[in-house]
Amino acid sequence: MIAVLTADLIDSSSYKTKFLEQVIEMLQMQFEYFEEKLEEKKSNFRIYRGDSLQGIVNRPEKALLCSFLLKSALNKLEFNQNSHIIKADLKLAIGIGSFDLKRDEISESNGEAFQLSGRTLDHMKAGSRKMMLKTPILDINAEFDTSLALFDFIADRWSTASAEVIYYLLQGYKEKKIAQILGISQSAVNQRKKAAGWDPILGLLKRFEEKISATFKGNV
């Protein structure tokens, strides 16, 4: 079993060229992070059409962490257009299932996980949801549909400063180190951490990893 992440940038047609380049560079940095820190091959992720991405997470229990990293990495980027602040964001679907056709190019691969992810993203395009999960198991889908709807509610209220703190917390940095990186006080980091809802986010990540590991253990 694998997880497939499929995502589209939101309102990318409104991005200035330089900002779109910045967004793509940030995504590439995340793909490299997945390879180096999470032991996911860089070739597993691809940007296509300039505003979409797809990738394989070989350890499906890490799929939500990868998704949150992508989300927070983009949400900390913004630009000013005609006195209106536009924040980078995406709609992302996680599909967990079998991997039937394995090819060097992800675009040529296929299987249950690809189909669940792609169809779920297509379903999301007409609605307000920004992150969803689909697996072959209905109980898991129901549990995390509610949880991810609540995550959408929390994340939609992040400032870019809050997203930045969440981004570093997801990488395992402590408050003191984040304060050094951002050039702010540790108390300011703590305030942003609380405002961004870090504790429930961390609880969701732990629950996801435990549930997915227990459910799909031994399935390849």
- CA-to-CA dists, residue 150 to 100, 132, 174, 180, angstroms: 33, 11, 25, 31
Closest CA to 165 of 133, 202, 138, 206: 202
For the chain, which domains are there? 2-216 (3.30.70)
Tell me 119's DSSP state.
Answer: H
Helix and strand tally (H, E) in the chain? 8, 7
Cβ(66)–Cβ(167) under 8 Å?
A: no
Other Cβ atoms less than 10 A from the Cβ of 26: the count is 16
List the end-to-end C-alpha distance of the chain, in Å, as a whole number: 4
User: Splitting the chain (220 residues) into consecutive groups of 10 residues, what average pLDDT does each group show?
Assistant: 95 89 94 84 79 93 96 93 83 92 54 93 94 96 96 96 97 97 96 96 97 80
Positive or negative torsion for Cα 25, 133, 13, 44: positive
Other Cβ atoms less than 10 A from the Cβ of 24: the count is 16
The helix/strand/coil state of 189 is helix
pTM score of the predicted model: 0.92
